[in-house]
Amino acid sequence: MELRHLRYFIAVAEEGSLTLAAEKRLHTAQPSLSRQIRDLEYEVGVPLLLRSARGIELTAAGKAFLDHARQSVTEAEAAVEAARRAAEPDKPVFSMGFLTGMEVEWLPIASRILRDELPNIEIRVVSQYSPQLAEDLQRGKLDVAFLRNEQKQNVEYRVVASEPLVVVLPSDHRLAAEHEIDPRDLVGEIFIGMSDIPHVLRGVIDGYFAKLGLDIKPTHVIDNFAMAISLVASTRGVCLLPAYAENFLSWSVVSRPLKGESPTIDLMLGYNNLNTSPLLRLFLTRMENQAVTPAR
């Protein structure tokens, strides 16, 4: 059994289709993928997949196998990353990830925390969606990341900031004249909602409206705050975003606080608890000992 067999099986299980897994994820021919899956099932000794008119479903054995397959692939990728880092002992690398837009506020803070080590280390920085950052932490590609609370095995989180959500709307919108916006006034407006990618933010927004008993359904859904701001300007819609997005508003878009108790969303510092890097331990310790909430 080879790692490629596990990757093929995971792709099929997640896509629910041999065709989609072959074309979208693996870029291989579907007959070849089917043959690889049959070889895997032969080696395991039990059927892992059920093929039906609805697509591919996992057997009980397949469900049990999937968890272990994911863990094996993750550990293999982490081992490769660790080996690559060990090959450059003279210049340790500390890799940091930021939820897109957060690097503006948090990279200076993170750099200040590591200022004594900067002459001797290489810092690598990436900006990405929160789910991808969590996956990179799990796979050992990042030492730390500033992101949302994504559920990933071996990834632990510490809250570093909690920020309110604000209303983002066109600067000449009728509600822009208000100092605070009553959430009930958003009913009937074109509402820009969140997709499955920023699912933590979507959950906060949905929970807020449900708590108030407001029936507000998205007219459009987006993946990130930049898309949200663009759609607010182009459709004359409104949306709820974390307050840090105020740093990126164009002249045609403004933000206003919500009236009453505003919903909040946590920014987390994530790391892999299997990472034994001394730099990571130093960074976590210094984060605990400093006031790190960015000024607004």
Condensed to tens digits (0 to 9), the pLDDT of residues 86-118 reads: 665 566 789 999 998 898 889 999 988 888 887
pLDDT band at 295 (very low <50, low <70, confident <90, very high): very low
pLDDT at 225: 87
Tokens of 18: 């041999």
Give the mean pLDDT of 117-125.
Answer: 84
High-pLDDT (> 70) share of the chain, %: 94
Q: Where are the alpha helices (DSSP H) in the chain?
A: 3-15, 18-20, 30-44, 60-86, 103-113, 130-138, 199-212, 225-235, 278-289
Q: In angstroms, what CA-CA distances link 111 with 114, 123, 272?
A: 5, 9, 20
pLDDT at 57: 83
pLDDT at 296: 43
How do strand 238-242 and strand 191-194 relate by DSSP bridges? Answer: parallel
pLDDT at 59: 86
Question: Could you tell me if 102 and 244 are in contact, meaning their C-beta atoms sit under 8 angstroms apart?
Answer: yes
71-80, 134-143, 188-197, 226-235: segment of lowest average pLDDT: 71-80
Condensed to tens digits (0 to 9), the pLDDT of residues 156-185 reads: 999 999 999 999 999 999 999 999 999 999
pLDDT at 265: 96
Question: Could you tell me if 166 and 243 are in contact, meaning their C-beta atoms sit under 8 angstroms apart?
Answer: yes
Residue type, 72: S
Condensed to tens digits (0 to 9), the pLDDT of residues 4-50 reads: 888 888 888 888 888 888 877 777 888 888 888 888 888 888 888 88
pLDDT at 80 over 80: no
Looking at every residue in the chain, the average pLDDT score rounds to: 88
Q: What are the chain's domains?
A: 3-84 (1.10.10.10), 88-160+267-289 (3.40.190.10), 161-265 (3.40.190.290)
pLDDT at 170: 96
